A and B are shown apart, each in its own frame.
Chain A
Amino acid sequence: VQLVESGGGLVQPGKSLKLSCSASGFTFSSYGMHWIRQAPGKGLDWVAYISSSSGTVYADAVKGRFTISRDNAKNTLYLQLNSLKSEDTAIYYCARRASQDRGFDYWGQGVMVTVSS
């Protein structure tokens, strides 16, 4: 199992960014997937979830601004980040939902998003 995030960078407040998570080593379409973030020097913060059937759930802090999506043909998970705020500055990880136990069984290496003028 391998998860590789990309698309991070420096962006101004109010602007947008789209993160990608390329998955390999498993049948991507069969698994739910998460985005989890970690602000510099802080703990883990769950952001969003998409089921294998593309149902979605969001944390209140990002609801209406972020959109999680997936392309099973490309084995890729996405996170569209709009109306970015300084408090969205973090490392963003994608993680796989374990099929039997609802946990986060595999994580990517993370991608840094910095929101600053």
Chain B
Amino acid sequence: DVVMTQTPPSLSVAIGQSVSISCKSSQSLVYSDGKTYLHWLLQSSGRSPKRLIYQVSNLDSGVPDRFSGTGSQKDFTLKISRVEAKDLGVYYCAQTTHFPYTFGAGTKLELK
């Protein structure tokens, strides 16, 4: 199985600050079609997860451009610029290149 190592496990941030979350996979996430199926999701408190970014760097509809995703092969980063209160929650990376699909353990973004 592909192990997704997500760091840090938690982040304490002030509103307006920028933060980055790392996600490293134990195998390359490049599929046979040449695409990389690494996604980022946010789970706000008490809610179901919501996808923010798909295929490394593509923002879902309605996601502000304060969010950005970068990376390739086995090393990926989610950056949030100018954090707002509504950004708080647990962020997960997920890979859908290899079955079984796997998730990072999550990064909890909290207010400082």
Contact = CB atoms under 8 A, between A and B. Distances in A.
- In the A-B complex, the 3 residue pairs with the smallest Cβ-Cβ separation, listed nearest first, are A102-B96, A46-B101, A44-B103
B39 interface: yes
A31 interface: no
Nearest to B41: A104
A55 B51 CA distance: 24
A110 B48 CA distance: 7
Contact of B96 (A58, A93, A103, A107): A103
A86 B106 CA distance: 23
A8 interface: no
Interface of A: 34, 43-46, 49, 57-60, 93, 98, 101-105, 107-110
B68 interface: no
A43 B100 contact: no
A48 B96 CA distance: 12
| Majority SS at the chain B contact face | loop
Interface residues of B, number: 27
Contact of A107 (B50, B55, B60, B104): B50
Contacts of A104: 39, 41, 49, 51, 94, 96
Give the residue among A60, A105, A110 with the most B Cβ atoms within 10 A: A105
Interface in B86-111: 90, 92, 94, 96-97, 99-106
A41 to B, nearest CB: 11
Given A43-B103, A57-B100, A103-B94, A98 B48 contact: no
Interface in B29-60: 31, 35, 37, 39, 41, 43, 48-51, 54-55, 58, 60
A49 B98 CA distance: 13
B92 A60 contact: no
B94 A44 contact: yes
Nearest to B97: A102
A57 B41 CA distance: 22
A101 B49 contact: no
B106 A109 contact: no
